[in-house]
Amino acid sequence: MSENIRFHFDVDGENFTSAGEASVAVKKKLRQLGYPPDVIRKVSIAMYEGEINMVIHADGGTADVEVRDDEIVIVLADHGPGIPNVELAMQEGYSTARDNIRALGFGAGMGLPNMKKYTDDMVIDTEVGVGTTITMKVNL
């Protein structure tokens, strides 16, 4: 059994400018490892959306990526406010982002639906006042 490749990142919630750095790093590494472009694109877009969400809504968190034999697993965990109504949050266009975030080009209510679209499996584990953990899988 070969050891799975793992990446761990702390996502800084204070700094919108640096948001996305973890996704860029993962994209670069997957490229170096020679994974197919469509897989890399799915992983990096889903992770980037999640990273932006953590910075906008949850004051940062952690991102873990594990490359297994048959899938890539991305786990994004935060101690933010949690998502009160996941069904509503999954609707395209629904957003609780404030105007200052929209002015930065985000908060169109496409983040979570887009993460689901680009991954083969997505599970949201959230509790109001405790935090949110999103686990996404992309098949290889």
Partner 1 sequence: MKIGKIQELLGAQLLCGEEHLESEVYAACVSDMMSDVLAFVKDQGVLLTGLLNSQVIRTANMMDMVCIVIVRNKVPTEEMVSLAEDSGLVLMRSPLRAYEAAGALYLAGLGREVGDE
Provide the mask over 34-73, with x wherever binding to partner 1 is found by CB under 8 A and - wherever it is not: ---x---x--xx--xx--x---------------------
> Exposure of 137 by Cβ count < 10 A (0-12 exposed, 13-18 middle, 19+ buried)?
buried
**Whole-number Å distance between alpha carbons of 61 and 9:** 9
Tell whether residue 78 is a contact of partner 1 (CB under 8 A): no
Complex with partner 1: residue 20 or 60, whichever CB lies closer: 20
State in angstroms the smallest separation of the CB of 63 from partner 1: 14
Complex with partner 1: residue 90 or 108, whichever CB lies closer: 108
* DSSP element (H, E) containing 31: helix 21-32
- Distance separating alpha carbons of residues 99 and 110, to the nearest angstrom: 15
Q: Would you say 105 or 129 has its CB closer to partner 1?
A: 105
Closest by CA to 55, choosing from 18, 8, 13, is 13
Q: Nearest-CA neighbor of 136 among 32, 61, 59, 48?
A: 48
Instruction: Report in angstroms how near the CB of residue 48 gets to partner 1 at its nearest.
Output: 5
- Interacting residues with partner 1 between 97 and 136 (CB under 8 A): 102, 104-111, 113-114, 117
Alpha carbon separation from 132 to 9, 16, 77, 84, 95 (Å, rounded): 16, 19, 6, 10, 16
Determine if 27 is a binding residue for partner 1 (CB under 8 A): yes
CB of 130 to partner 1, least distance (A): 26
Count of Cβ atoms closer than 10 Å to residue 138 Cβ:
24
Contacts with partner 1 by CB under 8 A lie at: 16-20, 23-24, 27, 37, 41, 44-45, 48-49, 52, 92, 102, 104-111, 113-114, 117
